């Protein structure tokens, strides 16, 4: 009988993916204060969950390592639309 525990990320994965989300927001010019205010904080909470369970960790790492300056969030990112909507003015 398969267990659902295989679907849950390890603690190391969760911490690494949270760091990737933080880096993605910085690289994408996201206004973090604006992001945490969207929908009373629920949108940010949902974005964290999307990162926690994201299947593109390797692609994300590669994108972050090759990013040079501010860039639009990549299309593979499940939070790209949210990050684009929360970019700082002028970015």
User: For 26-69, what is each residue's pLDDT tens digit?
Assistant: 999 999 999 999 999 999 999 999 999 999 999 999 999 999 99
Q: Which of the four pLDDT bands, split at 50, 70 and 90, describes residue 21?
A: very high
Determine the Cα–Cα distance for residues 5 and 67; give it in Å rounded to an integer. Answer: 34
Are 28 and 63 contacting, i.e. CB atoms less than 8 angstroms apart?
no
Which contacts qualify for 12-19: CB closer than 8 Å, 24 or more apart?
13/52, 13/57, 14/52, 16/57, 17/51, 17/52, 17/54, 17/57, 18/48, 18/51, 18/52
Cα angle 26, 32, 36; round to 5: 145
pTM of the shown model: 0.86
């Amino acid at each position: 009988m398969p267990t659902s525990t295989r679907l849950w990320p390890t603690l190391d994965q969760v911490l690494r993916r949270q760091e990737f989300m933080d880096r993605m927001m910085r690289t994408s010019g996201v206004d973090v204060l604006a992001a945490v205010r969207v929908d009373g904080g629920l949108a940010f909470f949902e974005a964290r969950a999307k990162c926690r369970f994201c299947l593109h960790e390797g692609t994300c790492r590669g994108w972050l390592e090759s990013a040079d300056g501010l860039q639009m969030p990549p299309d593979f990112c499940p939070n790209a639309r949210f990050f684009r909507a929360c970019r700082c003015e002028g970015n």
